[in-house]
């Protein structure tokens, strides 16, 4: 997956959450991604970006266009923070589990909305979530 263009968005406020999902949608539009998939991607970004503002206070989201071995393109989202990390990752990926007073749908929900989902976290050091939404054809 070689990146073609990268865009970095600092996530420090709820307005940045909106900016991140709008930029990602613009990238997806550029790839002719179907509008339903654009919405799924934008919604997933909203969830992981809010986790940054809610738990880590600040972080960043990097967006880029990637290409797989078959030439299919997609939007990759890397959300990074150096917040408190997640102590119990397995539970954090379970529907309904929350330590923040929300619905506990953020991470498990975001995972269902995208094609690839990866998370790495170290308590006390931070969390990185990587998402990819592929276009349906090359």
Q: Compare residues 57 and 67 and give the one whose CB is closer to other proteins.
A: 57
DSSP track, 68-82: -TTS-EEEEEEEEE-
Tell me the C-alpha distance between 11 and 3, whole Å. 21
Tell me the C-alpha distance between 40 and 121, whole Å. 24
Q: Compare residues 8 and 112 and give the one whose CB is closer to other proteins.
A: 112
- Give the binding site for other proteins (CB under 8 A): 13-15, 17-18, 21-22, 25, 35-36, 38-40, 42-43, 46-47, 50, 95, 102-103, 105-106, 108-110, 112-113
Rounded to the nearest angstrom, the gap between the alpha carbon of residue 11 and the centroid of all alpha carbons in its chain is: 12
If you count DSSP H runs as helices and E runs as strands, how many of each does the chain have, helices first?
4, 5
The CB-of-135 to other proteins minimum distance in angstroms stands at 16
The CB-of-77 to other proteins minimum distance in angstroms stands at 14
Q: Compare residues 102 and 123 and give the one whose CB is closer to other proteins.
A: 102
The CB-of-22 to other proteins minimum distance in angstroms stands at 7
């Amino acid at each position: 997956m070689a990146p073609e263009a990268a865009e970095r968005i600092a996530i420090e406020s709820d307005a940045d959450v909106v900016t991140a999902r709008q930029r990602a949608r613009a990238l997806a539009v550029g790839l002719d991604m179907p509008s339903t998939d654009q919405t799924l991607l934008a919604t997933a970004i909203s969830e992981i970006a809010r986790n940054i503002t809610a738990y880590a206070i600040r972080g960043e989201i990097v967006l880029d266009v990637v290409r797989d071995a078959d030439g299919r393109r997609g939007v990759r989202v890397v959300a990074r923070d150096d917040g408190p990390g997640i102590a119990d990752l397995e539970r954090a990926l379970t529907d309904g589990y929350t330590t923040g007073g929300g619905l506990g749908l953020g991470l498990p929900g975001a995972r269902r909305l995208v094609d690839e989902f990866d998370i790495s976290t170290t308590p006390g050091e931070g969390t990185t979530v990587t998402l990819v939404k592929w276009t349906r054809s090359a």
